[in-house]
Amino acid sequence: MANAFTGTLAMANLVQTAFDRELEFALRAQPMFRRVADKRPAQQAMPGSSVVFEIYQDLAQQITPLNELVDPDAVSAGNPSTVTVTLNEYGNAILVSNKLDLFSFTDVTAGLVNQVAWNLIDSVDLIVQNVLAAGTQTVRRNPGTGAITYGFGTTPTQPTALNTIDNSTNSLFTSAVARFAVAKLRANKVHPTTNTYYTAYIHPEISHDLRAETGAAAWRDPHNFSAADNIWMGNIGEYEGAVYLETPRAQNLQVGAGAGATQTRVYNTYYAGQQALAEACAEQADPLPASWLVRCSWLDSLPSRGSDRCSDRLFGSSERVIVVDWEGLQGPSLSSWDRGEEWRTGPLLLQMFRERIHSHGIH
């Protein structure tokens, strides 16, 4: 009689699919644009729905020699220029059922707290970049001739039209564009961000184009002989008066020549000096620990401020829902977002304060 084997088919109920209980998070790009907003109120008079920054205007240069017997006529000081920034409220929230919290095979609340904390700084970074992208000092290359075009003012009337940028080599970002952008910032008396360097935020695809450019006046040839480490690292570094920071966050949209799926994708590169953006907030940040969030199902054990927020504003007197949220009611202070805490960040006041330039290129 043949042997009877007991295998996985015979006892199939004992063979189950295994899961890793520790979940990974989606790939994330480091936020970096908020550092551009380095101008904040120094002596804000009072709370308000907007904040006005004022800038003194220098007197006209006086180069005529004085007469030793005649006092110079007094001149009128110029009216300060103003930059008004308006408060806006931002926020996001997740409501988690108590049932999910009890039944899930992982600590779902901790994971959601992490996602909400990331969503806070991820959202703020885009808010800041949107202000940068709305700037009117724009550099573009003419796709027909390769010439650099530049616009400045209320509307950029001089640069090549955005919808004419095509996939030709004349539309690529080059060292000539990098030199031009820095020259314009210097010509406009913009103070550098670090020592003598401005800061440039560039997409990896555009960084590739710049590093691939050859020739005596390009990035690569000098680095072949004097700074090969940058080639090994694939890092532009300091070049032509700017420190380059690569980020996939740099906005890029199909807004160039063509239409539909084949329309040219255009990438933004931003150059900034000191006080490129102004930012203000209604109040300094007040962290709400994650432990309070986890306990939002048990309202009777919450501190009064947490109970208020969880029970009254969001879901009545229910004890079956956990609240994980951030909202723009208090001032931004995001340096400790990764400590597992919820930060309630305040209304951000973002507007162009002083001059900065953004450049368009294709890849």
DSSP string across 105-116: SS-HHHHHHHHH
- CA separation for the pair 107, 150 (Å, rounded): 53
CB 290 within 8 A of CB 113: yes
The encoded tokens of residue 123 equal 């959202």
Q: What is the pLDDT of residues 158-169, one digit of tens each?
A: 678 888 888 888
3 state DSSP class of 302: coil
Torsion of CA 125, 353, 346, 32, to 10 degrees: 20
Q: What is the largest CA-CA distance in the chain?
A: 133
**How high is the pLDDT of residue 316?**
41
- Side chain identity at residue 76, one-letter code: S
pTM over 0.85: no
**How high is the pLDDT of residue 284?**
45
CB 138 within 8 A of CB 361: no
- CA separation for the pair 184, 139 (Å, rounded): 10
**How high is the pLDDT of residue 346?**
28
The single residue listed with the structure tokens 């796709």 is: 143
With a cut of 50, list the residues of the chain below it in pLDDT.
Answer: 284-318, 329-354
The encoded tokens of residue 335 equal 């340096």
Sign, CA torsion 31/35/39/42: positive
Q: What is the pLDDT of residues 18-52, one digit of tens each?
A: 999 999 999 999 998 988 888 888 998 988 888 89
The encoded tokens of residue 5 equal 């084997």
Residues 6+ apart with CB under 8 A from 345: 90, 120, 124, 281, 285, 326, 327, 328, 330, 331, 332, 333, 334
Picking from 243, 171, 246, the residue whose alpha carbon sits closest to that of residue 203 is: 246
**How high is the pLDDT of residue 76?**
94
Element (H, E) at 140: strand 138-141
Picking from 36, 277, 268, 275, the residue whose alpha carbon sits closest to that of residue 159 is: 268
The single residue listed with the structure tokens 């108590």 is: 98
In order of 50, 85, 279, 312, 349, the CA distances from 88 in angstroms are 9, 10, 12, 23, 7
Number of Cβ within 10 Å of residue 192's Cβ equals 18
